[in-house]
Amino acid sequence: MNGAESLVHTLLAAGVDTCFANPGTSEMHFVAALDRVAGMRCVLGLFEGVVTGAADGYARIAGRPAATLLHCGPGLANGLANLHNGRRANTMVVNCVGDQATYHRPLDAPLTADTEGFARGVSAWVRTATNAAEVGAAAAMAVAASRTSPGQIATLILPSDTCWDEGGVVAAPLPPPAAPQATPHAIEIAARMLRAGGRSIIVLGNAALTASALADAHRIAAATGAELLAQGSNRSIERGRGRHPIERIPYPVDQAVERFAGVRNVILIGAIKPVIFFAYPGKPGSPVPGDAVLHVMSRPEHDQAAALAALAAALGAPAVAPPDHARPTPARGEISSESFARSLAALLPEQAIIADESVTFGRAFFPATHAAAPHTWLNVTGGAIGGGMPLATGAAVAAAGRRVVNLQADGSAMYTIQSLWTQARENLDVTTVIFSNRKYAILLHELANVGANPGRTALDMLDLGRPDLDFLKMAEGMGVEGARATTMEQFNDLFAASCVRRGPFLIELAT
């Protein structure tokens, strides 16, 4: 057995049976091993940003890691932006990155690069295998590292001779360490703060955003008057009718500051301290007032379900029923952020998954869709543009039978547009809605914040017109059918039809 075969066997034994791949020459022994060892589903991406973002989306839905197969340093580099997003989502990914043979690296062939250096900024665990015999053990460690709560990115670099040499040894799966428990003391402090009164905000993140964890959070809120907020960007939120709604911390600095104004207690449960996305001259870096008491009840890696249940019990908080929102009817007439949100709430199928990279046009979507059918909402967590389409692709691979709806800004779509081809090849049930405003709208807004009257040079750098992007043509070029909607009625019809067909569909919404 060569090193590559030991790698595939070890991954499969550890429950990693899906591989998002964009291989090159140095990975051909891995590719050959995938033929000889049955059981790995391989999904090809035409660009590495698709591969890594899809692995993120897969893990968020499947609850276990996929592998990626990437080519040498520059191949990994092309995947870094979405690994950054994955790192911020605490997602599970096992990157398998080919590299020059151990003895070839000193010759500095053209593709030789600092692969470990590229990996380090996005990975909690990095190792370069040095011989075939250790590849299996290293792969088992990589999977365990990726499954370490709350989820991590592990990168295993495989010089080509460690794959082709004989002497591979399959390693048994390593049990990932169990999620640690929040301390009783930390829970008691939270209970005391909430009992003492004064305005309190509980910020929830990571596993505190499942439907059952949110039900416990609402018990706590109802019993104490505390307000609940989710982080601004989250790996996954379970929401919709029959579930307890949660607001998110607003993105714009002024709104975020206002939301926290006057709060006495801020309790973090699975969340990190709220931070503004970017600094602005004369504005604070965190929305939390300097005189508020900040208490970290549980960190992202803790067992949030247990922590919330313990806090609810400590407070003697009774169960509360979720609100009984009526499902709205689809919007008609002109397209706006609000009308789109209404139609989405009306038409979203049961158990749909939303991959949200809607940026500015989408700010109304989240608050207005609590009454949609039960669904899962995924954010691009790290702010690296180009996360949405790959996330949708990977989520669809993980969730056969569930519709994935990708709410996608046009500028951001262009970073990883190659995702559409993978959706077509795998016949994935993804409905992509492109919000086509033909500009970097968020940047126009930011530019307006910076100085008055932008001139031609600045406007040209924020304008996506001249020429207009035609997403239907691009989608068709990659095998995905689509249509354009210029009214809400058209959108409603196209969206409803897309949800009952098999395979991908793209709607270009003129906004």
Q: Does 133 bind a second copy (CB under 8 A)?
A: no
Segment (H or E) for 392 = helix 388-398
Q: Does 110 bind a second copy (CB under 8 A)?
A: yes
Question: Binders of a second copy among 474-503, rule CB under 8 A?
Answer: 474, 476-479
Q: CB under 8 A: which stretch of 170-178, 204-212, 275-283, 310-318 binds a second copy?
A: 275-283
Q: Where are the alpha helices (DSSP H) in 19-101?
A: 28-36, 48-62, 72-88
Nearest to 419 by CA among 121, 95, 48: 48
Question: Cα separations (Å) of 167 from 1, 2, 7, 30, 164?
Answer: 6, 6, 12, 15, 9
DSSP string over 276-308:
-SS--TTS-SSSS-TTSEEEEEE-TTS-HHHHH
Question: Cα separations (Å) of 446 from 249, 349, 393?
Answer: 19, 35, 30
28 versus 169: smaller Cβ distance to a second copy: 28
Question: Binders of a second copy among 152-171, rule CB under 8 A?
Answer: 160-161, 164
Nearest to 448 by CA among 249, 248, 275, 252: 252
Q: Does 234 bind a second copy (CB under 8 A)?
A: no
Q: Does 117 bind a second copy (CB under 8 A)?
A: yes
CB 179 within 8 A of CB 161: no
CB of 87 to a second copy, least distance (A): 9
CB of 489 to a second copy, least distance (A): 25
Q: CB under 8 A: which stretch of 194-202, 273-281, 342-350, 397-405 binds a second copy?
A: 273-281
Q: Which residues make Cβ contacts (< 8 Å) with residue 12, sequence separation at least 6? A: 37, 39, 40
Q: Given candidates 15, 120, 319, 350, which one binds a second copy under the rule CB under 8 A? A: 120
CB of 437 to a second copy, least distance (A): 14
22 versus 210: smaller Cβ distance to a second copy: 22
183 versus 449: smaller Cβ distance to a second copy: 449
Q: CB under 8 A: which stretch of 327-335, 339-347, 390-398, 420-428 binds a second copy?
A: 420-428
Q: CB under 8 A: which stretch of 116-124, 220-228, 323-331, 335-343 binds a second copy?
A: 116-124
Distance of CA 204 to the CA centre of its chain: 16
CB 434 within 8 A of CB 491: no
CB of 131 to a second copy, least distance (A): 14
Q: CB under 8 A: which stretch of 56-64, 296-304, 398-406, 415-423 binds a second copy?
A: 415-423
Q: Does 248 bind a second copy (CB under 8 A)?
A: no
Q: Does 393 bind a second copy (CB under 8 A)?
A: no
Structure tokens at 351: 């158990």
Q: Given candidates 12, 13, 77, 483, which one binds a second copy under the rule CB under 8 A? A: 77
CB 229 within 8 A of CB 208: no
Q: Given candidates 178, 456, 500, 502, which one binds a second copy under the rule CB under 8 A? A: 456
Q: CB under 8 A: which stretch of 96-104, 315-323, 346-354, 357-365 binds a second copy?
A: 96-104
Question: What are the b/e assignments for 170-181, b being 16+ CB within 10 Å?
Answer: bbebeebeebee
31 versus 169: smaller Cβ distance to a second copy: 31
405 versus 474: smaller Cβ distance to a second copy: 474
Q: Given candidates 1, 12, 13, 113, which one binds a second copy under the rule CB under 8 A? A: 113
Q: Does 385 bind a second copy (CB under 8 A)?
A: yes
Q: Does 510 bind a second copy (CB under 8 A)?
A: no
Q: CB under 8 A: which stretch of 119-127, 142-150, 329-337, 343-351 binds a second copy?
A: 119-127
Q: Print the SS3 string covering 316-364.
A: CCCCCCCCCCCCCCCCCCCCCHHHHHHHHHHHCCCCEEEEEECHHHHHH
Question: Cα separations (Å) of 35 from 5, 41, 96, 112, 306?
Answer: 10, 11, 17, 27, 43
Q: Given candidates 15, 63, 114, 247, which one binds a second copy under the rule CB under 8 A? A: 114
103 versus 333: smaller Cβ distance to a second copy: 103
The label of the residue with tokens 């959070």 reads 217
